[in-house]
A and B are shown apart, each in its own frame.
Chain A
Amino acid sequence: MSEQSLGEFEELVLLMVAAYHQQAYGVLILEKLEEKLGRKVNISAIHVALKRMEKKGFVDSNYGGITGERGGRRKKFYVITALGKRMLDQQYSIRTSIYQEIPNISFNS
Chain B
Amino acid sequence: MIPEPPRRALSFLRWFCREDCIEEIEGDLVELFEMMWLDNPARAKRQFIWRVLLSFHPEFLRSPAKLRNSNLKSMIQHNILMSYRSFKRYKSSFLINLFGLSTGLACVLLIWLWVSDELSIDKFHANDAQLYEVMEHVTQANGMITRYTTPGPMSVALVEEFPEIEKAVTTTSLWEQRFVLTVNNNDITATGMYADPDFFTMFSYDILQGSAAEVLKDKQAIVLSERLAMSLFGTTENLIGKAVQWEHERDFLISGIMKQPPTHSSLNFDFVMSFELFRAENEWVRNWFNTAATTYVQIKEGTDVAALNEKLFDLVRVKTENQADHRSPFVTKFSDLYLYNRYENGVQAGGRIDYVTLFSVIAIFILLIACINFMNLSTAQASRRLKEVGVKKAMGANRSTLIFQYLSESICIVLISMVVSLLIVILFLPKFNQITGKELQLVFDIQLFLSVVAIMLFTGIVAGSYPAFYLSAFNPVKVLKGKLSNLKGEQWARKGLVVFQFALSITLIVAVWVVYQQIDYAQTKNLGYDQENVIRVRKNGDLERAERAETFIQEVKKLPGVLEASALSHNLTGHNGGTYGVEWPGKDPNDRTEFERVAADYGAIELLNIKMKEGRPFDRSFGADSSKIIFNEAAIEFMGIEDPIGKKVVLWGNEREIIGVMEDFHFDSFREEVKPLFIALNPEWAFNILVRVEEGRTKEAIAGLDQLHAELNAGYQLDFHFMDESFDILYASEQRVSLLSRYFAGLAVIISCLGLFGLAAFTAERRIKEIGIRKILGSSEWSIIYLLGKDFTSMVLIAILIALPPSYLLSREWLNSFEYRIELEWWLFAGSAAVALLIAWITVSLQTMKVSRVNPVICIKDE
Contacts and interface: CB of A to CB of B under 8 A. Distances in A.
B29 A43 contact: yes
Contacts of B27: 26, 70-71, 73-76
A63 B57 contact: no
B249 interface: no
Interface residues of A, number: 20
A51 B32 contact: no
A45 B25 CA distance: 11
B54 A26 contact: no
Interface in A60-81: 63, 69-71, 73-76
B28 A26 contact: yes
B28 A27 contact: yes
State the majority secondary structure of interface residues on A: helix
Contacts of A70: 26-28, 30-31, 34
Contact of A71 (B5, B24, B55, B59): B5
A42 B23 CA distance: 18
Interface string A26-50: 1100100000000000111101100
B59 A52 contact: yes
A30 to B, nearest CB: 7
A25 interface: yes
Contacts of A42: 51, 54
Given A44-B55, A44-B57, A73-B26, A51 B31 contact: no
A63 B60 CA distance: 18
B21 interface: yes
B23 A43 contact: no
A47 B28 contact: yes
Contacts of B5: 71
A14 B59 CA distance: 18
A70 B51 CA distance: 15
Interface in A2-29: 25-27
A76 B23 contact: yes
A51 B59 contact: yes
Contacts of A30: 28, 32
A43 B57 contact: no
Nearest to A47: B25
A27 B36 CA distance: 12
B21 A47 contact: yes
B31 A48 contact: no
B30 A71 contact: yes
Interface in B25-64: 25-32, 34-35, 51, 54-55, 57, 59-60
Contacts of A51: 21, 59-60
Contacts of B29: 43
A74 B51 CA distance: 19
Contact of B34 (A47, A69, A74): A69
Given A25-B28, A69-B34, A71-B30, A44 B54 contact: yes
A27 B30 CA distance: 10
A50 to B, nearest CB: 8
A48 B34 contact: no
Most buried by A among B34, B51, B59: B59
Nearest to B51: A43
Nearest to A46: B28
A47 B32 contact: no
B397 to A, nearest CB: 37
Contacts of B26: 70-71, 73
A75 B30 CA distance: 11
Contacts of A45: 54
A22 B31 CA distance: 19
Interface in B574-618: none
Contacts of A76: 23-24, 27
A27 B57 CA distance: 18
Most buried by A among B24, B30, B51: B24
Given A42-B54, A51-B59, A71-B30, A63 B23 contact: yes
A56 to B, nearest CB: 13
Contacts of A44: 25, 51, 54-55, 57
B374 to A, nearest CB: 49
Nearest to B28: A26
Nearest to A55: B59
A47 B628 CA distance: 109
Contacts of B28: 25-27, 30, 43, 47, 70
A51 B35 CA distance: 24
B14 to A, nearest CB: 11
A11 B721 CA distance: 91
A101 to B, nearest CB: 37
Most buried by A among B28, B51, B60: B28
A69 B31 contact: yes
A41 to B, nearest CB: 11
A71 B33 CA distance: 10
Contact of A47 (B24, B30, B31): B24
Contacts of A75: 24, 27
B560 to A, nearest CB: 94
B21 A43 contact: no
Contacts of B24: 25-26, 47, 73, 75-76
A69 to B, nearest CB: 6
Interface in B556-572: none
Most buried by B among A47, A52, A74: A47
Contacts of B30: 69-71, 73
B33 to A, nearest CB: 9
B786 to A, nearest CB: 73
Contacts of B32: 27, 30, 43
A73 B23 contact: yes
A71 B25 CA distance: 11
A30 B29 CA distance: 11
Contacts of A27: 28, 31-32, 35
A6 B386 CA distance: 56
Nearest to B34: A69
A48 B25 CA distance: 10
A44 B31 CA distance: 14
A79 to B, nearest CB: 15
B26 to A, nearest CB: 5
Most buried by A among B23, B26, B31, B54: B31
A63 B24 CA distance: 9
A52 B29 CA distance: 19
Contacts of B34: 69-70
A32 B728 CA distance: 93
Nearest to B4: A71
Contacts of A26: 24-25, 27-28
Nearest to B3: A71
A47 B23 contact: no
A9 to B, nearest CB: 14
B653 to A, nearest CB: 102
A2 B569 CA distance: 94
B36 to A, nearest CB: 11
Contacts of B31: 27, 69-70
A84 to B, nearest CB: 18
A52 B26 CA distance: 18
Nearest to B52: A44
Given A71-B27, A76-B24, 20 more contacts: A25-B24, A26-B24, A26-B25, A27-B32, A30-B28, A30-B32, A43-B55, A47-B25, A47-B28, A51-B60, A63-B23, A69-B31, A70-B26, A70-B27, A70-B30, A71-B30, A73-B26, A73-B27, A75-B27, A76-B27
Q: Which 10 A-B pairs have the closest CB atoms?
A: A73-B27, A26-B28, A76-B24, A71-B30, A44-B54, A70-B27, A44-B55, A70-B31, A27-B31, A70-B30
28 contacts: A26-B24, A27-B35, A42-B54, A43-B32, A43-B51, A44-B55, A44-B57, A45-B54, A47-B21, A47-B24, A47-B25, A47-B55, A47-B60, A51-B59, A51-B60, A63-B23, A69-B30, A69-B34, A70-B28, A70-B30, A70-B34, A71-B5, A71-B26, A73-B23, A73-B26, A73-B30, A74-B23, A76-B27
Interface of A: 25-27, 30, 42-45, 47-48, 51-52, 63, 69-71, 73-76
